[in-house]
Every structure is written in structure tokens, then in C-alpha cells.
Amino acid sequence: MYIIKQLRRKNNISQSQLGEEIGVSLRTIQLYERKDANIPIKNLTKIAEYFGLTIAELYMHEVNDMGEAYTKRQPFTKHGSVFYPLEHGKYLVMAPLVLVEWHKKYIETFHNSSLSNPFQGGFVIDFLTEEPHRIFEVSGDSMNDGTFNSIPNKAYVLGLEMKKESFTRNKQGFWNQAYILVCVDRIICKQLTGFNKTNNSFLCHNLNTSPEFKDFELPLDDVLQVFKIAKKQF
């Protein structure tokens, strides 16, 4: 992000100093300062906090300083996420972020509305949907096969919530796509290949072909929420 360089110079901070503050190398900071840099949410949060900003404000500074005028349309909130209109029909969505360390508490919030998620993350999207948005940190490498479709350990994915009952109709367009499955005891990332009506269960597939990652069936009753993965970042 070009704005990182601008903020660093304004505050007389060197690249190496900023790297030490957020725990990355000088080379990593140099990569982060590129316009289209893909910065992990954890480090983007650290950078924003270091300069006394939110992630949303960091993005707003970026589009303004690069000459890509921020539209005057006001941000709006939907299903707990804040949408900031950008130029060219794009939006910055700041959605609840479910870190690996928060997986257990997130499951608890499904039954206890008094618990709130203190984390947020950001994605730039070029479409709006009615579904609730959530960002999940992925745990494990079961979906990492080294291809473009990989979703490796510690990746962040933007999920759009879908009604789990809709999958029981076995619509063709649902299958062979990656999903986040919030289960009664864990949160997992899998590719869904179909629905077994006899067993009332999802057919879950792992992209990683290592022997320890076996395909399996997941009972519908064990699933609390299903999120279709719309975007990802590493």
C-alpha cells in the first residue's frame, strides 16, 4: 500500500524500524509498500494501529492519496459489517474477523448473543450481496494442494453465509466449491462435493492429497453455519 510509505515518511520512520515494530523483515515492508500489496490481516492491523488508524481509515487514505477519489456516498452497515463505497463500483467491507484463537468463542456466540467479536478485517469487493459477511482465519493445510485454488494454513477468507437447508436440495451450482463450515465443535474449511440424502450429511473433500487428509461425511445436524468463500488472502 502506497499510503504506508507516505505515513512512514511523515512520521520519520524507516522501513527497518516499521518492520521491527510489526515483526517482519525489511524486504517484507518493501513489498507491503507496493500499491497492490497483499498484506495479511494480522500485519495490516498492526500497521494501522501503529499509525493510530483503523484498517478502514488506512484504505481510505490509500484511495485518496493515489488519486482514486473516494466517492461521497456514505458508508452503511449490514449484518454487522460496514461497507465503504469506493470508485468503479467497488466497496471496502469491514466484517467481523474470526481468528483461529477465536474459533471456540465464535461457536459459543451462536448460542450466546451476549458475547461480541472484538476483531474486524477488510476486503475490497466488486459486488454486493444480501448475505451476512464474515472473515475467517483458516486452520490447517487440508485445503492446500499448491495450486491456485489452495487455501493454506493461516489464510484469511471472506465468507458469505448461506442457509444450510438449501444444500439438501442438491442444486448443481453448490458443489465443488470451498466453504467454511461452523460446526458444533470446530470451524473447518472444506470443498463440498454433494449431499447424501440417505445419511443427511455433507460430502466433504480435502484438496490436499496427503494420507492424513481423508474425505468424509459431515452430518447436517453438526453444522451451525455454512459460508461460501468469496475471496481469500494469504
137/176 Cα distance (integer angstroms): 21
Q: What is the pLDDT of residue 205?
A: 98
Residues of the chain short of pLDDT 50, as ranges, are 66-71
**All three cell numbers of 141:** 493445510
Residue 98's pLDDT is: 94
Assigned CATH for 72-234: 2.10.109.10
How many CB atoms neighbour CB 72 within 10 A?
6
Cα distance between residue 71 and residue 203, in whole Å: 44
Whether residue 120 contacts residue 55, with contact meaning beta carbons closer than 8 Å, is answered with yes
User: Which residues have C-beta within 8 Å of that of residue 112, sequence separation ≥ 6?
Assistant: none
pLDDT of residue 108: 87
Count of CB atoms situated within 10 Å of the CB of 158: 25
What is the reported pLDDT for 48? 85
Residue with cell 447436517: 220
Q: Are 65 and 2 in contact (CB under 8 A)?
A: yes
- What is the CA 43 to chain-centroid distance, rounded? 14
How far, in Å, CA of 88 to CA of 86, rounded?
Answer: 7
Residues 91-100 have pLDDT tens digits of 889 999 999 9
Per-residue pLDDT, 139: 96
Cell numbers linked to 18: 516499521
Q: Which three cell numbers stand for residue 106?
A: 465464535
Write down the CATH superfamily of domain 1-70.
lambda repressor-like DNA-binding domains (1.10.260.40)
Cα dihedral across residues 17, 23, 24, 30: positive or negative: negative
pTM for the model:
0.76
Beta strands in the chain (DSSP E): 76-78, 81-85, 91-98, 120-125, 133-137, 156-162, 177-183, 187-196, 201-205, 216-219, 223-233
Give the residue extent of every domain in the chain. 1-70, 72-234
Q: Which residue has the cell 487514505?
A: 61
pLDDT of residue 67: 46
* The pLDDT of residue 158: 96
